[in-house]
A and B are shown apart, each in its own frame.
Chain A
Amino acid sequence: MIKFSNVSLVYPTSTKTVLEGLTFSIEEGEMVLVIGSTGTGKSSLLRLINGLVPHHTGGILAGDVIVDGISTQLVRPGELAHLIGIVGQNPSTGFVTDTVEEELVFGMESLNVAPDVMRKRVEEILDLLALAPLRNRAISTLSGGEQQRLAIGSALVMHPKILVLDEPTSALDPIAAEEVLSIIHRLVHDLSLTVIIAEHRLERVIGFADRIIHISGDGQTVIDVPENILRKSDIAPPIVHLARALELDQVGLNVRDVRRMTEAVRKEGNDLPKIVKKSTPTTISISGVGISYGAHIALKEVSTTVFEGEIVALMGRNGAGKSSLLQSIVGLQELNHGAVTIFDMDPKNLKGKERRTTVGYIPQEPGDLLYAQSVAQECAQADKDNQISSGETFNLLKTLVPSISEKTHPRDLSEGQRLALALAVVLSAKPRALILDEPTRGLDYQSKSLLIQILKDFANQQGKSVIIATHDVELVAELADRVIFLSEGEIVADGPTLDILLASPAFAPQVSKVMSPRRWLTVKDVLDGFEKNVDK
């Protein structure tokens, strides 16, 4: 179906080859997963398939990409539209029309499909993706999960033979992600659709993949079945790490397999000791906060308290009010009623230096905080703002990401590096509280464990607190002390991470699913349970 022969790619403004000597072929009805660290060229590989690279981006392509017998060098991407459906990383930037129905038919209208055929296909897709109740809605009013389904729908409605998805679940909560992936899985089996999917959160997709293309940093690629790739790869989901840690003979790819392999393990080991929390002073207090946007109520009567030394994770489905709550804590949001205090101050009245030293905020797009022309200038600005000795921010950054070059433009950094730079700038002011809104979108495992380390170190200092909003259950399991669960603007659960995550299967991390009913969340928890055993 898809055949890459000796493909190498160089972008016009760079001297480094993105991909080198890539040769593989993908059969009809296969589901292939593309993995690799950020910036290794996963997106380029996907966009090579329908010729967006190099037709749209420029660059030199050596070798040949042949899709269903057509060489992508010779035709424009549009001429492959009937064959390949492609869904980008951020579906909202790819919508062309105003309403769901119009968006679904856009591609077919362009290809001059007869109206009666279109009508039939639209009904099919509306049913298949459960979009029927949304058919006349304006696209701008859809939630993240609905937009993702629509983007997949408008690709599928063309009856393509190949579906290409670039991080389809990065913006979705675990339940919405599950919905989207199971639909795709069904299509692969029912219609023998060929699917190529790039994803960082392997725990979500690994169970569905037939083969994996692993791109390493130097442009080299390996393609093989998941078991072989994951045996050695440093990019691996938690259950693979679990299998390695327990020294099992095989790596299992889904919860069911690993559960079978670890039956004995579950009978032994100790539960984690109950953490008795010392009472510490209050840092952030939220009382009776309500926020509404026009007729839409984002938060109703939310009250909670955050204490010193805590890392609190804010979870909930897309549109549950997480961002609104974070913004009210940093004083960006007009409250309809209620009050927020942070270190006994009203966050709205914080100005300049006092604000920087009280609360640091990392927005969903960390790049928003950055405006200088290079990493060095950005760090120098932070030094000047905070009246600290020159070079201190850059040194901090160096400890976070040693490989960073000070001449790089912030725009050219990888997602992980940009987050680290924003963190360094914010941390250089030595804030007493740190607020992060969805920091792990597009982050690979390596960057994520780095982030966990930074945040843990931060919270361990005297008198600090961290609040983090995220969909990433694995991150929460490793990082947070406490989880607050929001649903439709109300707190539905608030308690220690262990209790909250184990309470609902949809939000449970992989290791806990394998180890249930034992109360272990991470690989480290399991190992801790056994070390105690050995000691006795």
Chain B
Amino acid sequence: MKSLHPLTWWLWSIAIIVTVIRVDSAVYSCLVIVVAAILVSRLAGDFPWSKSFWFSLRLGLFILIIRAITGVLIGVPIPGNKIAEVPILPLPSWMAGIRIGGVITQERLMASLHEGLVIASVIALFGAAVSLTSPHKMLRVLPVMIYEFGIALVIATSSLPQLVASYSRIKRARILRGDERPKFRTIALPLLEEALSKSLDLAAAMDSRGYGVMRSRSRYRPIPWRLTDSTIFAGGLIWLATIWTVTS
């Protein structure tokens, strides 16, 4: 498959994100996550950034759990089937209306899980867009005006995989020193130092090669917007329109 325009998947993701918020249903959110997962596992290559989607899934899961716990424990009670009851934390009188603890109902749990799922699916869609787009290509279509942002983008995307590689290298060296379970702190410090110095090197390299000097950039190869790009984007738009009419 020919490579797509770097903006295609971003536009598609944004269209789907709008539908997720519009529909506001847990089942639909789950469905969207599944579709995104299938797309990423089929289309994303073997690049450092391709794994961002699976990372975003984990982040989404984390948010879901946190949202469920806080949603159940804090806030306005929703009447319904009682699952469990925890003691109510006494709060000063000026915090009227806020309640911590109390009766946990099935409805309350479902409501918070639902909200968590919507947030998780939005994050997953962002993750999918990142996974499916080369950040370096992205850099080439972005205007030079956001120069600092461009440098940050390149540094972030190239230091993450480097960080992973350095981590395993340092850990192995430690094992050889007879240090079977090295403490996280003793690895994190040299790791961060290395990541920082590499990022500075990269920023220096970009600077000394003239990045951001000219207001406009030329393109060696034009980045074409092909029929496939239009199809994917149109697909997203049509889906958005359908959802919009169905739900209104």
B83 at the interface (CB under 8 A from A): no
A111 at the interface (CB under 8 A from B): yes
Check if B219 sits within 8 Å of A110, measured CB to CB. no
B30 at the interface (CB under 8 A from A): no
The count of A-to-B residue pairs whose CB atoms sit within 8 angstroms is 143
A367 and chain B: residue at smallest CB distance: B190
B164 at the interface (CB under 8 A from A): no
Cβ–Cβ < 8 Å partners of B201 in chain A: 88, 90, 93-94
1/0 contact trace for B201-227 toward A, CB 8 Å? 111111111111110111110000000
The smallest beta-carbon distance between A188 and chain B, in angstroms, is: 21
Check if A93 sits within 8 Å of B170, measured CB to CB. no
Cβ–Cβ < 8 Å partners of B210 in chain A: 78-79, 81-82, 107, 110-111, 158
Check if B172 sits within 8 Å of A332, measured CB to CB. yes
With the chains together, A132 CA to B137 CA distance in Å? 22
With the chains together, A52 CA to B210 CA distance in Å? 12
With the chains together, A97 CA to B136 CA distance in Å? 6
Find residues 412-462 in chain A having any chain B CB closer than 8 Å to their own CB: 425-426, 429
Cβ–Cβ < 8 Å partners of B177 in chain A: 356, 369, 385, 425-426
Check if A109 sits within 8 Å of B193, measured CB to CB. no
B140 at the interface (CB under 8 A from A): yes
A154 at the interface (CB under 8 A from B): yes
B155 and chain A: residue at smallest CB distance: A96
Question: Given the interface contacts A78-B212, A98-B134, A107-B209, does A115 sit within 8 Å of B218 by beta carbon?
Answer: yes
With the chains together, A113 CA to B214 CA distance in Å? 10
A195 at the interface (CB under 8 A from B): no
Check if A352 sits within 8 Å of B178, measured CB to CB. yes
Question: Given the interface contacts A96-B209, A108-B220, A112-B218, does A356 sit within 8 Å of B204 by beta carbon?
Answer: no
Check if B205 sits within 8 Å of A78, measured CB to CB. no
Check if A351 sits within 8 Å of B187, measured CB to CB. no
Find residues 39-85 in chain B having any chain A CB closer than 8 Å to their own CB: 47
With the chains together, A79 CA to B208 CA distance in Å? 8
A371 is contacted by which of B190, B208, B209 (Cβ under 8 Å)? B190
B202 is contacted by which of A96, A98, A368 (Cβ under 8 Å)? A96
Given contacts A56-B203, A93-B202, A363-B173, 13 further A-B contacts (CB under 8 A): A76-B207, A78-B210, A86-B208, A88-B204, A94-B202, A98-B134, A102-B136, A109-B220, A110-B217, A113-B218, A158-B209, A369-B177, A385-B177
Q: A interface vs B, CB < 8 Å?
A: 50, 52, 55-56, 76-82, 84, 86, 88, 90, 93-98, 101-102, 105-115, 118-119, 122, 154, 158, 330, 332, 351-353, 355-356, 359, 361, 363, 365, 367-371, 385, 411, 425-426, 429
Q: B interface vs A, CB < 8 Å?
A: 47, 134, 136, 140, 154, 169-170, 172-178, 180, 182, 186-187, 189-190, 193, 198, 200-214, 216-220
Closest 6 CB pairs of A and B: A81-B210, A94-B205, A368-B173, A105-B220, A107-B209, A371-B186
